[in-house]
Every structure is written in C-alpha cells, then in structure tokens.
Amino acid sequence: MIQIIRVDELEGGGLFYKGTFDSLGDAVIDAMQEMDEQSESFKEGDEYYRLEPMFRMDGDAAHCIQVHYKSRHWNKEVVERFYFIEGESKEGR
C-alpha cells in the first residue's frame, strides 16, 4: 500500500516530518489548512503569501508546493517547501 509522507522545508534548511497519509489528497489538504492559517498573518500593505502550483519532482516519487511570503517588516521574502513523498507502508510489503 502506497502512503504519502509529508516533509516541510523551511528557508535555511530545516526539515520537519509532518505526518504519513493514506493519499496525496489527504496530505495536500493537511498542508493547505496549515498554509491557510499562516497566510492570515500576511495581509497588510506590501505583505504577501503566494503559493506556486504543485509540481512533480524529478524521479516521479514526490510532489512539491512552494510558498513565497514576506512581511512588511522583513527585507526579503521567505520560501517554504512542502514535500509529499510516496512510500510503501510496512503492511504493503
């Protein structure tokens, strides 16, 4: 059985395991809920929170969504990546 592992990468190189899901849809919905909550913090003046369309990464075993956001208090934007990696569950072997 294929499962999806969600790993988030923060700018600066921090990787965070966010869970294992039964489908890509479940993993993306989980990430989108988090993105929606986070985007609420970037609504003033020159601030933005922008998602790029999800894309399949090289090797066909993972997808990625990139998010660009910037506060009016920062000098540069931050890029965060949400990875959705296909893996086989132990029960599926």
The answer as to whether 61 is a domain residue is yes
49-93 tens-digit pLDDT = 999 999 999 887 899 999 999 999 999 999 999 999 998 776 654
26-57 confidence digits (pLDDT tens): 999 999 999 999 999 999 988 999 999 999 99
- Count: domains in the chain: 1
Q: How confident is the model at residue 8 (pLDDT cuts 50, 70, 90)?
A: very high
8 assigned to some structural domain: yes
For 20, residues 6+ apart whose C-beta sits below 8 A from its C-beta are: 3, 4, 5, 6, 87, 89
Asked if residue 93 is part of any domain, the answer here is no
In a domain, 70, yes or no: no
- Domain range for 57 is 2-65+79-88
In a domain, 40, yes or no: yes
Residue 74 in domain: no
Amino acid at 87: G
Indicate whether 1 pLDDT > 90. no
Q: How many CB atoms lie within 10 A of CB 10?
A: 12
Residue 71, domain member (yes or no)? no
Tell me, yes or no, whether 72 lies in a domain.
no
